[in-house]
Amino acid sequence: MTRFQFSVSATDGAARTGSITMQRGTIRTPAFMPVGTAATVKGLRPAEVRAAGADIILGNTYHLMLRPSAERIHRLGGLHAFMGWDRPILTDSGGYQVMSLSALTKRSEDGVAFASHLDGTRHMMSPERSIEIQRLLGSDIVMAFDELVALPAAREVVEAAMARSMRWAARSRAAFDSAPEHANVAALFGIQQGGLDERLRAESASALRAIGFDGYAIGGLAVGEGQPAMFGVLDYACDQLPADAPRYLMGVGKPDDIVGAVLRGVDMFDCVLPTRSGRNGQAFTHDGPVNIRNAKHAEDLAPLDKDCPCPVCHGPAAVSRAYLHHLVKSGEMLGAMLMTEHNIGFYQALMAGLRAAIAAQRLNAFADGFLSRYTAR
């Protein structure tokens, strides 16, 4: 049984395509992970997520620990059985949600004490507790617990959070290794921090490499800095991390963000945008985002995207913009479901296109063609 194996099959500039092999299946890279926050990719059944092309999904430690609780999910057979998804699951550490959603947070070297955004009950999230929750869930890829800083922030604040995150990374590693039954079948990723500062990023990467992880996430981006600044960090951050391990850009993003990050060497992504936007009437297309609520779509019989292979746009079950406009404006749940199915399918088709372009050594042409059309409006 293969615990975790990352291989690169082709490169094109800084970009690479390959695969991650684990006990529950192979993840083709570059990969986009739909977000299943509360044990569901909102609006879709697991079979539909898989049919769209997703090899892996993301589960959320913070939300699942609060409801229904990691202990209950464990008693019920683990997250895979609980939600009916038999392929790999990456669980985030919960750090982002603890610091962005919770009330009355108090940070210390031990961890973060916080009040639940659901009912105000008090909890403590530490590196050890985060790893324990992810183990109870049965995660395939476990994330180290880190401290997030929203940007912009003073350099001393970013530096202190980075240094603490590295201490927490070592504790996360120790906690993960302390339960070999899970560690022998799962993987652990460390998270690079350091804001927009190249020296701090290098220091963080050095600390993570010394500890040793199966993969390395680039954290602390997509938190207010803007795309040019994010790309500026990626121009050097990828090279600071091991070339023989996958690089995961957390919480990103829009289609043009993903294309730019792949060009710079990123292998894995996650974001709530395709599902959240779908529920709110926005579709991603090759010609840019479409707000299906706009009156101009009320009698438009065209599909959302004539070049999208998803079932919402093509095939016997395809529907028109006019029908989607009606559903969304009427508040019908089918509207949100179909819009989400399209968005997830569009993202997965984009990843397949990027993988094929890298393999064929034509990534620049693919990226230029995609971005010129996507951003034309």
Confidence at residue 218, expressed as pLDDT on a 0 to 100 scale = 98
Cα gap 265→57, rounded to integer Å: 21
Task: Report which of 141, 124, 14, 161 is spatially closest to residue 87, judged by C-alpha positions.
Answer: 141
The answer to whether 20 touches 246, Cβ cutoff 8 Å, is yes
pLDDT tens-digit readout, 55-89: 999 999 999 999 999 999 999 999 999 999 999 99
Q: Which residues pair with 18 in a beta bridge?
A: 8, 29
Residue 12 a catalytic site member = no
Residue 62 CB neighbour total at 10 angstroms: 26
Cα–Cα dist 88/268, whole Å = 13
- How high is the pLDDT of residue 251? 95
Angle ∠(1,59,94) on CA atoms, nearest 5:
115
- Identify the structural domains of the chain with CATH numbers, from first to last: 5-270 (3.20.20.105), 279-374 (no CATH)
Looking at residue 20, its pLDDT comes to 98
Helix (H) or strand (E) segment spanning residue 95: helix 95-101
Q: For residue range 87-98, list pLDDT tens digits in order.
A: 999 999 988 887
CB count in 10 Å sphere of residue 179: 13
- In tens, the pLDDT along 130-174 reads 999 999 999 999 999 999 888 899 999 999 999 999 999 999 999
pLDDT tens-digit map of 277-336: 999 999 999 999 999 999 999 999 999 999 999 999 999 999 999 999 999 999 999 999
Which of 55, 92, 146, 305 is labelled catalytic?
Answer: 92
Helix/strand/coil for 57: strand
Mean pLDDT of 343-372: 98
**332: Cα within 13 Å, side-chain hemisphere:** 13
Percent of the chain whose predicted confidence (pLDDT) is above 70 = 99
Phi, psi values for residue 280, rounded to 5°: -105, 15
* Contact between 37 and 117 (Cβ < 8 Å): no
Structure confidence at residue 377 (pLDDT) = 76
- The one catalytic residue in 140, 214, 267, 270 is 270
User: How confident is the model over 7-47, as pLDDT tens digits?
Assistant: 999 999 999 999 999 999 999 999 999 999 999 999 999 99
pLDDT at 153 (0 to 100): 92
Band of residue 226 on the pLDDT scale cut at 50, 70, 90: very high
Quote the CA–CA distance of 229 and 26 in Å, as a whole number. 33
When pLDDT is averaged across residues 246-257 and rounded to a whole number, the result is: 97
How many residues are there in the chain?
377
pLDDT number for residue 281: 98
Q: How far is CA 359 from CA 12, 29, 260, 261, in A?
A: 8, 11, 17, 17
Q: Is the dihedral of CA 356, 256, 343, 41 positive or negative?
A: positive
Does the annotation count 235 as an active-site position? no
- The pTM score is 0.97
pLDDT at residue number 1: 59
